[in-house]
Amino acid sequence: MVRIHELTALQQYRLLQSRELSVLELVDHYLERIERIDPELGAFVTVTPEAARQRARALDASDDRTAPLWGLPLADKDLWRRAGVRTTFGSRLFADFVPDESDALPLRVDAAGAVSLGKTATPEFGLPSHSETLVAPPARNPYDTALSPGGSSGGAAVAVAAGLVPFAPGSDGGGSVRIPAAACGLVGLKPSRGLVPAGSGLDALAGLPVAGPISRTVTDAAFLLDGLIERRGDRIAFTHTLRPPEDDDGLFLGAAVRGEGRFQIGVTTDTPWATDYEIVVSPEARAALDAARSGLDALGHGVEELALDPAPDYGRAFRVIWQAGASQLPADDSNEHLLEPLTRWLMHRGRALPASELAWALRTLSLYERSLIAQLSRFDAVLTPALALPPRPLGWYDPDDGERNFEQQVLFTPFTSFVNVSGLPAITLPVLQTAGGLPMGAQLIGRPGGEATLLSLARQLERRLHGDRMHPPQW
């Protein structure tokens, strides 16, 4: 007997549409799992069972089931405000904050017909690549609860991997969708800058953070991405500055379901962080890269090595942007003691930056964006490791030394942030498990607006390597 959570999100949606399953039955199934399983995992900071059941009943009573995510449960990352629901931003500064208004992403998933079950764990203001905070228990990797799920969408990834929700949206400013997806054996898609209007990156410093899906399968990632994109008539309201999606109708799910095409793939372990830090690709990460490369080669794609040009100013420029972003936090002498050491370090460094340094950093990253796009332009996609190291132990990051903490984040995730800087799309997917049972993934970086190609490639790899069959013990 197949249990509900063992079905893909798309399969659950079809059961809802055929009325073989009610929204309330689906919501109750996941709420029961959250109550029973999540205490050991810490995926959720806040669960909202009453609101979820009320919305489920309203949807069940409606005759209109045309919304793209109609009736499907998911959860809000705790960086997004939802009216009437405690929103901490992962910080003791907002431990008891209950907003009166919702942010754009929760409003979008509501309009798409989804049902929020609560708020998922995130580190303080989403700044680190883990999900440990002082405002709540840490999110734990379901494959090994002594390990971190990564971050900053760590709680969302834990919830999806453990079958507490079928999929979840996350935000990705330096890898925050792809990092926890890779650490938890999931698919994580960072869209092109501007593709998702409710999380476009166009209004952010250097255009880094965008909203994207975390899911167990490639088709579910495409399904959720379609739901996150606003439509007018049959056309996507596409705001990307370069070109529209590759499918004329903008339906990314079709590209994932078909999983067709032969493409030219570049492979690299180069990273612009290599100038600043000694980047070491672990044997586990190398094995995952090799598995993905062999799979693509066996599928008939053209695969060749790619060497990236050195970028000696990249690290300094990215740090300036990260610090400048933290300078805007609502903290002063009266309450900054509530901030965690890394956040305080970033905030004070950011507030000490001269305007000329910020202007230099913005120009440097803009030039890097142009350079990287040009270097990758002869390929349909570029393959890299998803992470340089296996999932890290809880407490691995230095809690007191901001400089060291930042370095550790780079050593763990040297292949993600430069994709944000370039505005390119990228997808991570699981390709193997280590001898100890931990998932390891690979990353594919696409051309501007190249989500359809990435989804097609990822689906082909998924069919060959069966990463969608990986599940943690709680499954």
pLDDT in tens, 297-349: 999 999 999 999 999 999 999 999 999 999 999 999 999 999 999 999 999 99
Alpha-carbon distance of 424 to 417, in angstroms, equals: 11
Question: What pTM was computed for the model?
Answer: 0.96
pLDDT value, residue 251: 77
- pLDDT digits over 28-82, tens only? 999 999 999 999 999 999 999 999 999 999 999 999 999 999 999 999 999 999 9
Instruction: Cis check for the bond before 62: say yes or no (omega within 30 of 0).
Output: no
Report which of 30, 15, 26 is spatially closest to residue 65, judged by C-alpha positions. 15
Burial-class residue 374 by CB neighbours within 10 Å (0-12, 13-18, 19+).
exposed
Q: Are 333 and 347 in contact (CB under 8 A)?
A: no
pLDDT exceeds cutoff 50 at 367: yes
Cα 107–218–236 angle (5° rounding)? Answer: 45
Residue 382: which H helix or E strand, with range? strand 381-385
Report which of 216, 241, 204, 9 is spatially closest to residue 109, judged by C-alpha positions. 9
Q: In this structure, what token pair is assigned to residue 18?
A: 């055929």
Q: Are 189 and 177 in contact (CB under 8 A)?
A: yes
pLDDT value, residue 17: 97
Burial-class residue 401 by CB neighbours within 10 Å (0-12, 13-18, 19+).
middle
User: Would you please indicate which residues are annotated as catalytic (active-site) residues?
Assistant: 77, 152, 176
Distances (CA, A) of 156 to 15, 41, 183: 24, 11, 12
Alpha-carbon distance of 323 to 358, in angstroms, equals: 10
pLDDT exceeds cutoff 70 at 236: no
Instruction: Return the percentage of the chain with pLDDT > 90, whole number.
Output: 94
Exposed e or buried b for every residue in 346-357, given b needs 16+ CB within 10 A?
A: bbbbbeeeeeee
Q: What is the DSSP string of 54-112?
A: HHHHHHHT-S---STTTT-EEEEETTS-BTTB---TTSGGGTT---SS--HHHHHHHHT
User: Quick one: residue 48, left, alpha or beta (phi over 0 = left, psi -120 to 50 = alpha)?
Assistant: beta
Alpha-carbon distance of 154 to 172, in angstroms, equals: 11
Q: Are 173 and 418 in contact (CB under 8 A)?
A: no
Average pLDDT over residues 168-189: 98
Compute the mean pLDDT over every residue in the chain, rounded to the nearest whole number.
95
Type of residue at 180: P
User: Quick one: residue 365, left, alpha or beta (phi over 0 = left, psi -120 to 50 = alpha)?
Assistant: alpha
| Selected residue with higher pLDDT from 239 and 94 | 94
Q: Please measure the distance between the N-terminal and C-terminal CA atoms of the chain and give it in whole angstroms.
A: 14
Q: Which residue spans within 250-349 are E strands per DSSP?
A: 264-267, 302-305
pLDDT value, residue 395: 96
- pLDDT digits over 238-288, tens only? 444 334 444 434 479 999 999 999 999 999 999 999 999 999 999 999 999
pLDDT value, residue 116: 98
pLDDT value, residue 231: 62
Q: Specify the DSSP class assigned to residue 40.
A: G
pLDDT exceeds cutoff 60 at 426: yes
Q: Are 207 and 199 in contact (CB under 8 A)?
A: no
Contacts of 31-36 with C-beta under 8 Å, sequence gap 24+, read 31/117, 33/5, 33/162, 33/163, 33/164, 34/117, 34/118, 34/159, 34/164
Alpha-carbon distance of 303 to 216, in angstroms, equals: 26
Burial-class residue 3 by CB neighbours within 10 Å (0-12, 13-18, 19+).
exposed
Average pLDDT over residues 218-235: 82
pLDDT value, residue 390: 98
Type of residue at 356: S
Type of residue at 181: A
Q: Specify the DSSP class assigned to residue 322.
A: H
Type of residue at 37: I
Q: Specify the DSSP class assigned to residue 203.
A: T
pLDDT exceeds cutoff 80 at 232: no
Domains, the chain: 4-466 (3.90.1300.10)
